[in-house]
Amino acid sequence: MTFLHFWENNLSGNIPSEIGNCVNLTLIGLEDNQLTGTIPASFSNLTVMRSFWVNGNQLSGDISDVFSDWSNLKYFSIGNGNAISGAHNDFTGSLDLSNNNDLRICWVDNTLISSLNVKNGNNTNITSSGTYLFKANNNPNLTCIEVDDVAYSTANWTQIDAICSFSTDCDALAVVDNSLVDFSVYPVPTENVLNINSEQEIVSIEVYSKLGQLVQKNTLKNSIDISNLAQGFYLVKITTVNGDYGMKKIMKK
């Protein structure tokens, strides 16, 4: 068997793990049903998969790490690709498609994933012509998408949320959990002056780009003007009189 297609068949329950034994499958179409559970781990056996559609169901839980050996994958949809009201999966966790270098359609909208890596060396295969071939909007937990080229993705992949941005290295935007100072910033997002509150006395404020470059610095104790910076995400680092530091991610409008 090479094709398994049950689009809009009112199917319910979990996806059977036994499907993972059908190693010649090149297409799975289970979109717009009422399936629950998650993607079976046995699907890692489906290494000749080219077309995978499970959008518009009620699947949930951490997205399975089963796609890395799908080197022939071209079409991938796990969200609500057909824009049916209320029909979407609540996948969480990290989705890594960086090994799928023949990807042509990527629909990962309307989920709860917090990490998405599509840096596969061939992002130009996903164009902006016709219908949207890349969708990652309505993902409230997703703030960074790792890609080959920020300029290309920004110009061609417009279906992302305002809180999200493209980067060639999303780890550069990840705030490590070893900051020694707790502080608050407002307003976020901001256009001009960013105000900072800390219980400790601040001796410097630094702003870094998502590539880790220092783009703004001052020694004011409670604010910094970032009006000259381009729109996007930045890291704000404060250093206190005790030599401790804290970091937070902010968005510049």
Identify whether residues 155 and 197 lie together within a single domain. no
- The pLDDT assigned to 136 comes to 95
In angstroms, the CA 216 to CA 226 distance is: 7
In this predicted structure, which of 129-138, 146-155, 171-180, 230-239 has the lowest mean pLDDT? 171-180
Identify whether residues 158 and 67 lie together within a single domain. yes
> How confident is the model over 6-57, as pLDDT tens digits?
999 999 999 999 999 999 999 999 999 999 999 999 999 999 999 999 999 9
Identify whether residues 111 and 166 lie together within a single domain. yes
For the chain, report the end-to-end CA distance as a whole number of angstroms. Answer: 51
Entry field: residues in the chain: 253
* Domain, as residue range, for 206: 175-252
Identify whether residues 113 and 71 lie together within a single domain. yes
Q: What angle do CA 77, 82, 87 make, to 5 degrees?
A: 90
To the nearest whole number, what is the mean pLDDT of the chain? Answer: 89
Identify whether residues 104 and 166 lie together within a single domain. yes
Identify whether residues 238 and 191 lie together within a single domain. yes
Q: Which of the listed residues 148, 172, 196 is the one where a domain comes to its end?
A: 172
Identify whether residues 125 and 18 lie together within a single domain. yes
Identify whether residues 164 and 107 lie together within a single domain. yes
- The total domain count for the chain is 2
Residue whose C-alpha is closest to residue 180's, from 220, 240, 224: 240
Identify whether residues 221 and 162 lie together within a single domain. no
Identify whether residues 217 and 167 lie together within a single domain. no
pLDDT at 60 over 80: yes
Q: Which of the listed residues 112, 137, 172 is the one where a domain comes to its end?
A: 172
What CATH number does the domain containing 237 carry? 2.60.40
> How confident is the model over 192-238, as pLDDT tens digits?
999 999 988 999 999 988 667 789 998 877 999 999 998 888 888 89
Record the tokens describing residue 237, joined without a space.
Answer: 């680092």
Q: What angle do CA 45, 48, 54 make, to 5 degrees?
A: 75
- The pLDDT assigned to 246 comes to 85
